[in-house]
Amino acid sequence: MNKIYLIILILSVISCSRSNNISENLIKADSLMVNSPDSSFLILKSIDTKSLRSKNEKAYYALLFTQSLHKNYYPLKNDSLISIAVEYYQNKNDKIKYTKSLLYNGIALEEMKADRSAMEMYKKAEASAEDCDDYLLLGLINSRMGGLYSKKLIENNEDIEKYKVALHFFKLANHQANINYTTSLIGKIYRATNHRDSAYCYINKAIEYSKKRNDSINLFHNYALLASTYRLDRDFLKAKEICLYIIRNHNNILISNEVYHCLSRLYSDLKQIDSAYYYSRLIKTGKKDSLSYYITLKEIAKNAGDYINAYKYNELAQKITDANILSARKMDLYDIEKKYDNQRLININQKLELKARTTFFIIVLIILSLVISIISAIYIIKKGKEEIEEKLLFIEQLKSESLTSVNSFLSKLSQRDIAEIQLKELLDRRLVIIRKLIDISYRYESSPKSFMAGFNTIMKINKLDEGALNDLPEIVNAKYNGAVDQIKKEYPNLASEDINLLSLICCGFSATEMAVFFNYTNQKSIYGRKRRLSSKMNLDISLDEYISKIIHNPCSLNN
């Protein structure tokens, strides 16, 4: 049994190690895809597809391998592999990989001559990329759409517009190679329009980029474009000079067909027919059935006076042109794009409406918050004023109430007993507090804030010590004919703080004065304590009436 567990453990470790190794290779291949696609291809080729276990690994591999094939100029013969990635990432929260899958599915369809489906896929990729910040990816999508328009000779300048959008994103991504390539493409397309100034502008920019990057291949390619543009403007001398410069200085760099087309047509324009045919024969094999090749031969034949061949080559060129235009019309690439654009506009409008509603609710919430804040501020201010008025009223009551009863009680204290002396000092101190409170009401009459600060300071500093009134019940009992004993006999369960309160009532202190003794800021607290105590004693008369009967006729309560 132990051996079986050991075997399972070993297999698990090997499986886990193999899985980690595959994941690392896929991530490494992805990181090399942009700048070293050949290295990425070698890594992907080394992976045994049978070792791909999870759907995530299979989808990731399908995406990367399709990318790698395209970037290393291998033909994409079908879209079955990349479809695995599209299907998987469609339902995953990975917009970048899903958008890339759509893009390379479009490229595969385009290579399969399914241009209509390719355009639909590119538009889906563009819509998906709206939520991405991958500018390189956005540039590639627009570049592919521009390429479709250019290939099908659709004369609505959509190819230029798409390439300009692509160039914008490539600049944001700071991808110099694609900036150079796209700038060159825009110049090339402008070359065949009436906007020849734009052609010169973009081609010269492309030449500058090529020089900065030390990219000789693109540099000579752009020189060739510049030469052919000069030829169209019939500046044969400049055109010839640039083309011959390329031929003399190309070293090991392959000379582009653009140079040979330009020289063939240039010498044809100069009526040097032999030289024209010489350079036409240098156009690479496989490109001799292209539209450009037939146009070159037509130009040479026409300038040589060979009108039969000029007509023949013109017909061949026209067939290619008509076929492309017919194909473009059948595909309705522009209509497909507009359909997706319209749908995207609908989606954008829906988002804007949602945003507007959200903004409206936010504004309403802000307004409500402000209203609540204002109401709260008014309430706080009002509450503060009420508190000041309450304290002033409290002090006014202290002013107006007679302290005769208090002084009468104080006069009964013999001052012979230590407890009585201490109690008298305590009561005297509380009377001093009353005088201080009255004093600050005069002093800070015009400054409510200062009044409140002074009031709180006095009450805080002169807080009555706990147990300071412990001797009061005994003294009151002695001075008022055993009143406290009578109360305790009637209500044996009363707490000491209850007895203290009843003792102060016996002494004749008002609720306002007692509030000062207990450091309350208003007499409401005393009234509350008296109500609770009355309820606790189950009295059917007020607490003050009960105390009055105790003091003046203690025996009547027993009868």
Residues 50-100: pLDDT tens digits? Answer: 888 889 989 999 999 999 999 898 988 888 999 999 999 998 888 999 999
Q: Provide DSSP, 416-475.
A: -SHHHHHHHHHHHHHHHHHHHHHHHHHHTTT-HHHHHHHHHHHHHHTPPPTTTTTTHHHH
Closest CA to 258 of 286, 282, 275: 282
Q: What is the CA radius of gyration of the chain?
A: 50
Kind and range of the H or E run holding 492: none
Tell whether 504 is covered by a domain: yes
Tell whether 86 is covered by a domain: yes
Residues 6+ away with beta carbon under 8 Å from 312: none
Closest CA to 516 of 525, 503, 529: 525
User: Nearest 10 degrees: CA dihedral of 335, 336, 340, 342?
Assistant: 10
Residue 417 has pLDDT above 90, yes or no: no
Residues 506-517: pLDDT tens digits? Answer: 877 777 777 776
Tell whether 223 is covered by a domain: no
Tell whether 286 is covered by a domain: no
Tell whether 122 is covered by a domain: yes
Local confidence band at 442 (pLDDT 50, 70, 90 cut-offs): low
Last residue of a domain, which of 132, 166, 194? 132
* Domain boundaries, position 42: 23-132
pTM, full prediction: 0.56
Q: Which two tokens stand for residue 466?
A: 């706990």
Placement of tokens 């020849």 in the chain: 196
Output 106-109 pairs: Cβ under 8 A, ≥24 positions apart: 106/144, 107/70, 107/76, 107/144, 108/66, 108/76, 108/78, 108/79, 108/82, 109/79
Kind and range of the H or E run holding 42: helix 37-45
Residues 178-195: pLDDT tens digits? Answer: 999 999 999 988 988 888
Task: In whole angstroms, give the CA distance from residue 340 to residue 44.
Answer: 35
pLDDT at 287: 53
3-class SS of residue 350? helix
Indicate the range of 135-139, 156-160, 397-401, 488-492 predicted with least confidence: 397-401
pLDDT at 39: 93
pLDDT at 553: 73
Residues 266-287: pLDDT tens digits? Answer: 899 999 999 889 988 888 866 5
Tell whether 143 is covered by a domain: no
Placement of tokens 């019939």 in the chain: 234
Find how far residue 334's CA is from the centre of its chain. Answer: 34
Residue 10 has pLDDT above 60, yes or no: no
Output 211-220 pairs: Cβ under 8 A, ≥24 positions apart: 212/176, 213/176, 213/177, 213/180, 215/177, 215/180, 216/251, 216/253, 217/253, 217/254, 218/180, 218/181, 218/184, 220/246, 220/250, 220/253, 220/255, 220/256, 220/259
Tell whether 167 is covered by a domain: no
How many domains, the chain?
A: 2
Residues 6+ away with beta carbon under 8 Å from 519: 459, 462, 463, 464
DSSP category for residue 74: -
pLDDT at 424: 58
Q: Which two tokens stand for residue 71?
A: 């970037």
Kindly report the backbone phi and psi dihedral angles of residue 444, in degrees, each rounded to the nearest multiple of 5, phi listed first. Answer: -110, 35
Residue 386 CB burial class (10 angstroms; 0-12, 13-18, ≥19)? exposed
DSSP category for residue 145: H
Query: What's the average model confidence in pLDDT over 359-387?
Result: 80
Residues 6+ away with beta carbon under 8 Å from 72: 37, 38, 41
pLDDT at 155: 58
Closest CA to 124 of 76, 90, 85: 90
CATH of the domain at 82: 1.25.40
Residue 172 has pLDDT above 80, yes or no: yes
Indicate the range of 29-38, 462-471, 530-539 predicted with least confidence: 462-471
Tell whether 447 is covered by a domain: yes
3-state secondary structure 181-231: HHHHHHHHHHHCCCCHHHHHHHHHHHHHHHHHCCCHHHHHHHHHHHHHHHH
The amino acid at 233: D
User: 515 with 525: CB under 8 angstroms?
Assistant: yes
Last residue of a domain, which of 132, 148, 174? 132
Q: Which residue blocks in 250-290 are alpha helix, DSSP H?
A: 257-269, 273-280
pLDDT at 404: 46
Task: In whole angstroms, give the CA distance from residue 483 to residue 393.
Answer: 33
Last residue of a domain, which of 132, 158, 173? 132
Task: Please tell me which residue, 320 or 203, carries the higher pLDDT value.
Answer: 203
**Strand runs (DSSP E) across 209-340, as ranges?**
none
